[in-house]
Amino acid sequence: MVFYEALCPDSKYFITKQLLPAYKNAAPIMEVQLVPYGKCAKQHNFENIDLIQKCFDSNHGSELMKLNGDATSALRPQVTFIPTITLDGSQGRQASILKDLLGEICKVAAGMDQAEKICKH
């Protein structure tokens, strides 16, 4: 699971530089769930947030925010940095996950037939 804020520079960097390349290489051994939550747009003074605001203001947007907020709040240990990533339900090794997602996925998937082919690098 990737707990992130939609407009947060750190989240955007992780998604474009780690998550997407890892997924292109290792999709068969990955199950990705994105959990957007937070108020990063206001923290970083982004002005072009109309679409996000429309969703946020709708009933469905409120339901999604509650679900994602509950999931984020339930993390143990609690979130101290965004993005926060769990692999197989564990937050362990966040610094390594943020820098080498594919390598960390390969460690978790070690022993799986598909992982052996994907993780030879």
pLDDT at 62: 78
Q: Domain ranges for the chain, please list them.
A: 2-118
Q: Hey, how many other C-beta atoms are within 10 angstroms of the C-beta on 42?
A: 10
> Which of these ranges, 35-39, 51-55, 64-68, 115-119, has the smallest mean pLDDT?
51-55
pLDDT at 41: 46
Question: What pLDDT, in 10s, does the model give residues 46-101?
Answer: 555 676 677 778 888 778 878 888 888 888 888 888 999 999 999 888 999 999 99
Q: At 70, list the tokens.
A: 């509950």
pLDDT at 98: 96
pLDDT at 36: 87
Q: Dihedral sign for Cα 11, 60, 45, 91, please.
A: negative
What gap in Å lies between CA 16 and CA 106, rounded to an integer?
19
- pTM for this structure? 0.80
**DSSP for 55-110?**
HHHSHHHHHHHHHHHHHHHH-SSPP-SSSEE-BTTB---HHHHHH-HHHHHHHHTT
